Amino acid sequence: MQLLFFGTGTSKGIPVIGCDHPVCLSDDPRDNRLRSSVLFQVNEKNYLIDCGPDFRMQMLQNKITKIEAILYTHEHADHTAGLDDIRPITQKYGDMPIYTYKRVMDNLKHRFDYIFTTKNKYPSAPGVLPHIIKKTAFYIDDLLVTPIQVMHGKLPIFGYKIKDVAYITDASFIDESEREKLKNLSVLVINALRIKEHPTHFNLENALKLIEELQPKRAYLTHISHKLGFHKEIEKQLPENVFVAYDGLKLKI
């Protein structure tokens, strides 16, 4: 299995439009971050978590031409706005299975009504196969996927565990019952927005405390804003098994 980081930035990406913060002006390519998304590559099949506004560029940059399914963490635009860009894939390979909460699916149906409609559908609109999921594990093909419910402020959202790898973004709190699903991981990917506390996201201190509690073999920080600092400077401060993810990073599990 391989984990490919499509994007590791927060909702504005890095650099932020009009930003003169030193991180936004950095010439280190690891400090340039598209909106957060990750691709699980298992048995030569691609399973995408979140399809944000940078999806088209992420597919092109990583030379990926097909994905088997999309799992959504929640409905915010930085995680969903790229849905229309699956058109070339669905036109070639057929309707795209998508998995998420009913609440999130209803939001997608409202925002992308022309994709979900069954009446007079525009011929080139992408095709989707909606699947409503809950907190219980489910299969995509023969791949077992375990949802991890976390809180994004007051909004319940999903992270996902596939085999012994877990991907969690936008979390600000994880209940003890859900933390049990995160024991004995080889890799934990967790959000760390910035240094200062935030009402709806883990900051660096929060993320490191969770990593210390769960004791994964390796942990990677994602959903990063420019306010966390330079990539090379952050990594110097981290425990030896914790790393800062960056766009295009590939992990062989």
The pLDDT tens digits for 7-36 are 999 999 999 999 999 999 999 999 999 999
Question: How far apart, in whole angstroms, are the C-alpha atoms of residue 195 and residue 117?
Answer: 44
Residue 237 in this model has a pLDDT that exceeds 90? yes
Ordered domains of the chain (ranges, CATH): 2-252 (3.60.15.10)
Q: Residue 212's CB: how many other CB atoms inside 10 A?
A: 11
Residue 55 in this model has a pLDDT that exceeds 90? yes
For the segment 152-167, the average pLDDT, to the nearest whole number, is 98
Question: How far apart, in whole angstroms, are the C-alpha atoms of residue 84 and residue 239?
Answer: 40
Structure tokens at 63: 């030379």
pLDDT of amino acid 218: 98
Judged by DSSP in three states, 102 sits in helix
For the segment 93-120, the average pLDDT, to the nearest whole number, is 95
Q: What's the whole-model pTM score?
A: 0.97
Contact 187, 218 (CB under 8 A): yes
Going through 8-68 in order, the beta strands assigned E by DSSP cover 37-42, 45-49
What number of residues does the chain have? 253
Kindly give the residue spans of alpha helices, DSSP state H, lying in 26-149.
55-61, 77-80, 87-93, 102-111, 113-116
The pLDDT tens digits for 169-185 are 999 999 999 999 999 99
Contact 210, 202 (CB under 8 A): yes
Please give the share of the chain, as a percent, with pLDDT higher than 90.
Answer: 97
Judged by DSSP in three states, 136 sits in coil
Question: How far apart, in whole angstroms, are the C-alpha atoms of residue 219 and residue 251?
Answer: 11
Please give the share of the chain, as a percent, with pLDDT higher than 70.
Answer: 100
For all residues of the chain together, what is the average pLDDT? Answer: 97
